[in-house]
Copies of this chain bind each other. A is one copy, B any other.
């Protein structure tokens, strides 16, 4: 059963609630890293939205999810004026195109090559980092776990290189790739517990970026408690240590 929170979760001055096509709802689960992206993006762009919790710990999907995303029955789903947008990166593009402002807050840069760069690394996070994280957490035996750990650290170090000495991934402003990656940081404590390493030692500048992101209201209001995240994933993946 999903818990429907009928109170708008975020009401910023000058929201687009009425000017861009009606009420905005985000259907998500508190521990869903993909959905956190959507909620962070909405807050970054000052969009008022209603939050509807869909508990992924239940095997059944709610009638709302089955109706709004009949193809995948997955979340997050953004519902704008009654019409659904599904898939976290797709939602970020939609949020940016609908509420992004050339003169103000926006997620993707204007330059097509920089946009392509951001989308390339977002895809890297989805196709590589997420699957490696899953393999690392589900690994059986020391050798498999060690191999997945090294691969995960290599991927995080590669992202650290992409960040370089910039404040955020696209420069001075928090944007698309920051919103894509920062939810994974809520599992970093879990990585450390599970793998017996320190990310401060392995990726110090990426960790400084995490702290900068967490200073933002959008991020700190969305990212869950790291211990709760790891406890949930331990149950999901049958981690016993």
Residues of A within 8 A of B (CB): 71, 80, 83, 85-87, 90-91, 93-94, 97-98, 112-113, 115-116, 119-120, 123-124, 158
Minimum distance in angstroms from A7 CB to a CB of chain B: 26
B-chain residues with CB within 8 Å of residue A115 when the two chains form the complex: 93-94, 97
Say which residue of B85, B86, B98, B112 sits within 8 Å of A94 (CB atoms).
Answer: B112
**How far does the alpha carbon of A80 sit from the alpha carbon of B90 in the complex, in Å?**
25
Nearest B residue to A158 by beta-carbon distance?
A: B71
Q: Determine whether the beta carbon of A83 is less than 8 Å from that of B113.
A: yes
Say which residue of B90, B93, B112, B119 sits within 8 Å of A98 (CB atoms).
Answer: B112
B-chain residues with CB within 8 Å of residue A91 when the two chains form the complex: 116
Stoichiometry, as copies per complex, reads 2
B-chain residues with CB within 8 Å of residue A116 when the two chains form the complex: 85, 90-91, 93-94
**How far does the alpha carbon of A123 sit from the alpha carbon of B90 in the complex, in Å?**
9
Chain A contact surface mostly: helix
**How far does the alpha carbon of A173 sit from the alpha carbon of B29 in the complex, in Å?**
38
**How far does the alpha carbon of A45 sit from the alpha carbon of B94 in the complex, in Å?**
24
Minimum distance in angstroms from A87 CB to a CB of chain B: 6
Nearest B residue to A95 by beta-carbon distance?
A: B112
Q: Determine whether the beta carbon of A113 is less than 8 Å from that of B90.
A: no
Q: Determine whether the beta carbon of A124 is less than 8 Å from that of B93.
A: no
B-chain residues with CB within 8 Å of residue A83 when the two chains form the complex: 113
**How far does the alpha carbon of A85 sit from the alpha carbon of B123 in the complex, in Å?**
13
> A85-B120, A87-B120, A87-B123 known; 20 other A-B pairs, CB under 8 Å?
A71-B120, A71-B124, A80-B113, A83-B113, A85-B113, A85-B116, A86-B120, A90-B116, A90-B119, A90-B120, A90-B123, A91-B116, A93-B115, A93-B116, A93-B119, A94-B113, A94-B116, A97-B112, A97-B115, A98-B112
Nearest B residue to A100 by beta-carbon distance?
A: B112
**How far does the alpha carbon of A158 sit from the alpha carbon of B72 in the complex, in Å?**
13
